[in-house]
Amino acid sequence: MNRHGMTRRKFLVASAAGGAALAASPYLGFDAWAASEKASGEVKVTPTLCDACGNWCALRVYTKGDRVWKAEGIPIAGNNLGRVCAKGHAMLHEVYNPDRIKSPLKRVGPNKFEPISWQQAYKEIGAKLGQIKEKHGAESIFWLQYPEGNADVTFRFMNALGSPNVFSHGATCFLPRNIGWWLTVGNSKPEHDFANSRFILLIGRNLAAGLNLRKLQDVVKGRESGAKVVVVDPRFSESASIAKQWIRIRPGTDLALMLAVAHVMIDESLYQKEFVEKYTEGFEEFAEEVRKFPPSWAEEKTTVPKETIVTLAREMAKAAPRAVIHRGYHAAAGTQYKNSLQLVRAIACVNGLLGNYNQLGGLYPAPKVKLGKPDPNQYPAPPPVKGPMVDGSGDPERYPLTPKGVGISHAIPELAIQGKLKAGFVHHNNPLRTCPNPARVIEGYKKLDLLVSFDYVLSETATLAHYILPESYYLERDDVVHANHAYSSQQVAIRQQVVKPLYDTKPLVQILIELAQHLGIGQYFTFTLEDWNRAALKPLGVSLEQLKKEGVIDLGGQWQPGEPHFDTPSGKLEFVSSTLKDLELPAVPTWEEPLVSPDPKDPHSFRLIHGKQAHHTHARTANQPYLMKITTDQDWGRAWIHPDRAKKLEIKDGDCMTLTSSVGSGRMRARVTDGIHPDCIFLPSGYGIFSRNLTYAKKKGQGGFGYGVSYNDFLPTMFDPVLGHAMANEVIVKVTKTYT
């Protein structure tokens, strides 16, 4: 039993029961179909890549006749090692969701659409975009995407249009993580050899809910081989439930913990001296800085007892170099705090003290696969667009460290309100639901003269679009070849068509090739997707036929421990970042207060934090009945609050509460649990759908509003001064009991 009152077995039983109860839902229920006379077709197995979250696990999808049946994981695939999660299974059914868009649509009024032909859509978009380009320049056009499976083609598209404005969702997810690691070791995403570790520290990283099936299995393997797994989190997370120790920390203070751990390792001379001498730069300055941050100081900041901090440092040091701190992702080391960049740098530096880089049980650079490109003589490519993005990303005077191609996506509405953005393409993204301050986001996106969505359902953003060019569901389409699929070896993989498209939809690359002919950039789109993929595979000596047959091909190049290499300016792990120094920014990790703190005298004042659940991805899965059944059966949409704080507000488990911030207010029910730090309220993400066009995300009797609330409803629009990220946990909410 864990602190959610839920055993693993109970979870599985609950999930299965949810599935059984839903067997009669309008579009679910393979069993009913299988019993019908239509189910006489042959069984076929097609390998492809799941698209239900950004991990892109490799699947073998079974079809019977022309119908999707089930999936299993491909055992050699580096991203999932044969496993498939609940979302992966449930989202197979999405291909049959009646909410799907069945042809190109044109918006003819608020929430009113009429079907149009592809040719008409291309023609009208081409004419409108031409006018916008002429009047406002190509820089007034943007592209927003994530994940970026077809990114090489979309960059080509935007380069051809002459705009530098390609955004991912990085500034609301992982931006400081990538930049912090890149500054310190020259690699924005080092991998972890968890399976061979002897000490694994997950700090603000909930691998068991922000799921990564490969890493989770590796952590479990490491644990089974004797590694101690410790989780630092304000909340008793799903990962904490598989750890040896949960260290409850005040949210926003992980940086203080890391500085104090470094303090102990250096003070007690526990760090890997040979590694530090040979492979690092700026150790003395770092040591001098962290001397200011002893465990007693960190205890006050973090509420973690100083003895716990000392023990943590000693145990990690003892296991070094086979001790590793996770590189971080969306949480504390992601885009949640003003001090997130400092935290990532501190995590990277403590890993440096552990001397684990390129070592067994430590961190390593994932082997890369270099794909080929279409021959430029045959398929001319547009020149890349120089200069910064419209949001200042890549501008030495504004956000020099924020890469072009990532950008600051939650700045799009502001830029539209300022008249700097006039037209946008949104692919695989729903900013109206996934960016802070939805009222402002809606206001901004409404200002656009042209918004084109490639969605397959009428999400919140698609509902606002002028045109929807529906991309085929992932089981109905081919995508560009996918490299870097593995962590410890070189692998190449492909997403390919499993069933024929049910409706008049197309793969994104096909849409862009056709649309380009109407935008005056057709000369850069004379290839087919097959041409593109053959060119990509050419240097690898792998044929497209072979890859389609196997789904994933391992090219070898298995990572081996050895001499570390760092692609930093000094060629070493930089305790003192030369890049930050050049930019006159704090170059040594040091303490930085979070932007906001709850008022200790006000019983209603809390920091709002949020996180994923293993059965949901962003706002994309809340319209899937099996997954929502798990949520509703288990009552997992509730907000977590500590019993001591709840008592003062007369809130009991299950009571209704109202949360109010400077930008929004919302009601939810309470989960009163000591598995949460008293300073904060935790909201699970993925809920609060407000599109009225998503049948299964609706809560019965609530006038079409979706189940639960979203943390974005409470977040003001904020930009970190260095990187521009959203600082999505830097919000104070007032909590009151709701008497109904």
Which residues in this chain contact ligand SF4 in the complex, by CB under 6 A?
50, 52-53, 55-57, 80, 84-85, 87-88, 211, 213
What's the min distance (Å) between Cβ of 622 and ligand SF4?
Answer: 14
Element housing 432 (H / E): helix 431-434
Closer to ligand SF4 by Cβ: residue 97 or 280? 97
Strands 656-660, 323-325: parallel, antiparallel or unpaired by DSSP?
unpaired
Closer to ligand SF4 by Cβ: residue 275 or 329? 329
Closer to ligand SF4 by Cβ: residue 53 or 247? 53
Closer to ligand SF4 by Cβ: residue 79 or 140? 79
What's the min distance (Å) between Cβ of 201 and ligand SF4?
Answer: 23
DSSP 580-648: HHHTTS--S------S----TT-TTEEEEEEE--TT--TTTSTT-HHHHHHHHHHTTTPEEE-HHHHHH
Task: Tell me if 579 sits within 8 A of 569, measured CB to CB.
Answer: yes
Q: How many residues does the chain have?
A: 740
Closer to ligand SF4 by Cβ: residue 159 or 617? 617
Look up residue 563 and give its two tokens: 């001499």
What's the min distance (Å) between Cβ of 477 and ligand SF4?
Answer: 16
What's the min distance (Å) between Cβ of 85 and ligand SF4?
Answer: 3
Task: Tell me if 458 sits within 8 A of 112, measured CB to CB.
Answer: no
Longest CA–CA span in the chain (Å) reads 76
| C-alpha to C-alpha distance for 361 and 338, rounded to whole angstroms | 31
What's the min distance (Å) between Cβ of 480 and ligand SF4?
Answer: 17
Q: Which residue is nearest to ligand SF4 (CB)?
A: 88
CB hemisphere CA count around 322 (13 angstroms)? 15
What's the min distance (Å) between Cβ of 409 and ligand SF4?
Answer: 21
Closer to ligand SF4 by Cβ: residue 50 or 371? 50
What's the min distance (Å) between Cβ of 249 and ligand SF4?
Answer: 27
What's the min distance (Å) between Cβ of 73 and ligand SF4?
Answer: 7
Q: Provide the 3-class DSSP secondary structure of residue 426.
A: strand
What's the min distance (Å) between Cβ of 58 and ligand SF4?
Answer: 9
Per-residue buried b or exposed e for 594-626, using 16+ beta carbons within 10 Å of the residue's own CB: bbbbbeeeeebbbbbbbbbbbbbbbbbbbbbbb
Look up residue 370 and give its two tokens: 């270099």
Closer to ligand SF4 by Cβ: residue 215 or 645? 215
Closer to ligand SF4 by Cβ: residue 71 or 722? 71
Task: Tell me if 529 sits within 8 A of 511, measured CB to CB.
Answer: no
Task: Tell me if 534 sits within 8 A of 379, measured CB to CB.
Answer: no
Look up residue 410 and give its two tokens: 């939650």
Closer to ligand SF4 by Cβ: residue 87 or 301? 87
| C-alpha to C-alpha distance for 333 and 343, rounded to whole angstroms | 6
Task: Tell me if 550 sits within 8 A of 493, measured CB to CB.
Answer: no
Closer to ligand SF4 by Cβ: residue 87 or 156? 87
What's the min distance (Å) between Cβ of 213 and ligand SF4?
Answer: 5
| C-alpha to C-alpha distance for 406 and 146, rounded to whole angstroms | 10
Partners of 348 in the β-ladder: none
What's the min distance (Å) between Cβ of 617 and ligand SF4?
Answer: 6
Measured at the CA of 263, the angle between CA 237 and CA 607, to 5 degrees, comes to 35
Look up residue 680 and give its two tokens: 């904060």
Closer to ligand SF4 by Cβ: residue 85 or 512? 85
CA distances from residue 217 to 85, 211, 361, 444, 563 in whole angstroms, order as listed: 12, 11, 14, 42, 27
Distance of CA 145 to the CA centre of its chain: 12
Closer to ligand SF4 by Cβ: residue 329 or 527? 329
Element housing 386 (H / E): none
Single out the residue of 606, 626, 604 nearest to residue 615, CA to CA: 626
Look up residue 611 and give its two tokens: 């996180």
What's the min distance (Å) between Cβ of 592 and ligand SF4?
Answer: 33
Closer to ligand SF4 by Cβ: residue 61 or 727? 61
What's the min distance (Å) between Cβ of 612 and ligand SF4?
Answer: 11
Phi-psi region of 324 (alpha: psi -120 to 50; beta: other; left: phi over 0): beta
Look up residue 208 and give its two tokens: 């068991």
| C-alpha to C-alpha distance for 528 and 513, rounded to whole angstroms | 8
| C-alpha to C-alpha distance for 307 and 83, rounded to whole angstroms | 39
| C-alpha to C-alpha distance for 106 and 705, rounded to whole angstroms | 24
| C-alpha to C-alpha distance for 667 and 681, rounded to whole angstroms | 13
Closer to ligand SF4 by Cβ: residue 53 or 319? 53
What's the min distance (Å) between Cβ of 458 and ligand SF4?
Answer: 22
Closer to ligand SF4 by Cβ: residue 91 or 529? 91
What's the min distance (Å) between Cβ of 621 and ligand SF4?
Answer: 8
